Structure 1
Amino acid sequence: MSRIVLVTGGGSGLGKAVAARFRAAGDTVVVTGRNAGRLARTAGELDVRPIPCDATDPGQVARLADELGPDLDVVVNTAGGNTDLGVDQGPGLEGVLAAWRANLDANLLSAVLTTTAVLGKLRPGGTIVTVGSIGAEYASTSYGAAKAALAAWTAGLSSEVGPKGLTANLISPGYIAETEFFRGKLTEQRRDALVAATHNGRAGQPRDIAETTYFLASEGARHITGQTLHVNGGAHTTR
């Protein structure tokens, strides 16, 4: 049976790969993002429905929820990124505050707002998947803190939605090649170090995250909920 799938940040990178995976299976896919032009190009390429939306803006998120229609089966929160790699927020404590707020907005609050807005649309058997980061395990930065908060929020969300027949999980990627995450600031030496930290000696690919997401939304994963799944080639291991 065809499902209705919402992918935030679906215009490029991991979100685009996730949208492509669900669409290839015959699901109806809606992609959102701030860049309307890029979103439209992705929609044409993948045969998905674009709805421009800044997931950090409550008004735009509310409009997104209205446009989606009454039913939904899968929510995938991939919108985000390390805003520290973008515009310099300025000096002093004001700059620190702005930098932290930017990453919390982009990574944590975008997922919270979107999920809250559409939660009532999810049908029993539905799934919420949110993309975190290996940075949550190591980073003392605002980005790492925001991604760590996502994991805690997901665990709590699972207990809230479980009685409704829904699951909620977080995927924590390591280094993923072929994305714009580093915004051109990844040196060859840093890339080599990230690959060397894995056990299988390779960089992750967007399809690794897409396939894991698709599995978590499958019937075979109905008893997996409230979890953080590390998809990083062993760069971070759990016991």
Structure 2
Amino acid sequence: MGRRIVVSGGGTGIGLATAETFAAEGDRVVILGRRAEVLRAAADKLNAAHGADLVTWTSADLSDPEQTRRAAEFITADGDVDVVVTNAGGNVAPSNDGTLEGIAGQYQRNFEANVLTAVLLTEALLPHLTRPGGRIVHLSSVAALRGPGSYGGTKAALHTYTFELAKRLGPEGVTANAVAPGYVEDTEFFGERGTPEFIAQQIGQTLTGQPGTPVEIAAAIRYLASPEAAYVTGQVLHINGGAQYGR
């Protein structure tokens, strides 16, 4: 029997690729997100490819404590969890209208979408995380180093939360790490902003002249969640083609 894996934001993009990486190895995966129809379609696709009932799903707004609590109860009804991947989030800040109220709204919305979704899910599942051997992997971003501020600041907050968890849980044999991608193609992240010009600019910031792919990010997550990574904790793994150097 495989391990039990939880992936938030698991219906599309990096989260879906991550869920598939684990399901392909026979692990049981629970994917979470806000859109039930997207999660259902993703679970059906993965189960058809890798075996019936390996992937289950539940919808929740993970920035809300009560919805997160219910999601955790659903997840742990069948037993403990081995791996938690907090991938939900994105740059959800509205356009800046120049007012202080508008700026406050930008920071508040991105904090809820990127920090609370990771912290609340992790804390809700901590009592049910395998000890020793449990793994926590947060999804950060190159934006933690380069901005924009309201989004990048929330991803930087995940770095400090990762370090806190690594210190808190290390004596119990649990690791906590983060993966910080740069521009990754084939995701919904940029939406209408993903024009050809914008994409070219993002790729131009790399040293390799190419975008990342969801499968590449999923492979890094899979390593950090593996038994072989027991000596890796409190780390932020940058996967961005060298874009963190500020080209």
The superposition leaves residues 13-42 of structure 1 with CA deviations (integer Å, 9 ceiling, x where unpaired) of 111110000000110000000001111111
Q: Which of 177, 182, 191 does residue 185 from structure 2 map onto? A: 177
C-alpha displacement of 1:187: 2.6
Q: Which of 42, 63, 69 does residue 70 from structure 2 map onto? A: 63
1:52 alignment partner AA: S
The superposition leaves residues 113-155 of structure 1 with CA deviations (integer Å, 9 ceiling, x where unpaired) of 0000000111120100000000010114210100011111111
C-alpha displacement of 1:193: 2.2
Q: Give the 3-state SS of the residue equivalent to 1:225 in structure 2.
A: coil
C-alpha spacing 1:141/1:67, structure 2 compared with 1 (3 Å) = same
Q: Give the 3-state SS of the residue equivalent to 2:201 in structure 1.
A: helix
CA distance in 2, matches of 1:96, 1:89: 6
The superposition leaves residues 158-180 of structure 1 with CA deviations (integer Å, 9 ceiling, x where unpaired) of 10111111000000000001101
Partner of 1:92: 99
Q: Give the 3-state SS of the residue equivalent to 2:120 in structure 1.
A: helix
CA distance in 2, matches of 1:23, 1:174: 25
Q: Which runs of 5+ in 1 are unaligned?
A: none
Q: Give the 3-state SS of the residue equivalent to 1:193 in structure 2.
A: helix
Q: Which of 75, 80, 87 does residue 89 from structure 2 map onto? A: 80
C-alpha displacement of 1:99: 1.3
Confirm or deny: 8 A CA contact 2:146 2:244 kept in the other structure.
no
Q: Give the 3-state SS of the residue equivalent to 2:5 in structure 1.
A: strand
Partner of 2:51: none
TM-score, with length taken from structure 1: 0.95
What is the Cα-based RMSD across aligned positions, in Å? 1.5
Q: Give the 3-state SS of the residue equivalent to 1:129 in structure 2.
A: strand
User: Greater shift after overlay, 178-187 or 161-170?
Assistant: 178-187
CA distance in 1, matches of 2:44, 2:38: 10
Partner of 2:118: 111
Q: Are residues 1:14 and 2:21 paired?
A: no
Aligned residues: 236
Q: Which runs of 4+ in 1 moved over 3 A?
A: 87-91
Q: Write out aligned runs for 1:1-239 (5 A).
A: 1-47=1-47, 48-69=55-76, 70-84=79-93, 87-88=94-95, 92-123=99-130, 124-237=132-245
CA distance in 1, matches of 2:110, 2:174: 28
1:21 alignment partner AA: T
2:159 alignment partner AA: A
Q: Which runs of 5+ in 2 are unaligned?
A: 48-54
Confirm or deny: 8 A CA contact 2:11 2:31 kept in the other structure.
yes
CA distance in 1, matches of 2:167, 2:223: 20
Q: Give the 3-state SS of the residue equivalent to 1:83 in structure 2.
A: coil
- Fraction of identical pairs, as percent: 43
The superposition leaves residues 40-99 of structure 1 with CA deviations (integer Å, 9 ceiling, x where unpaired) of 111111121011111111001101111112300000000000012xx4476522221111
CA distance in 2, matches of 1:181, 1:29: 22
CA distance in 2, matches of 1:51, 1:190: 34
Q: Give the 3-state SS of the residue equivalent to 1:200 in structure 2.
A: coil
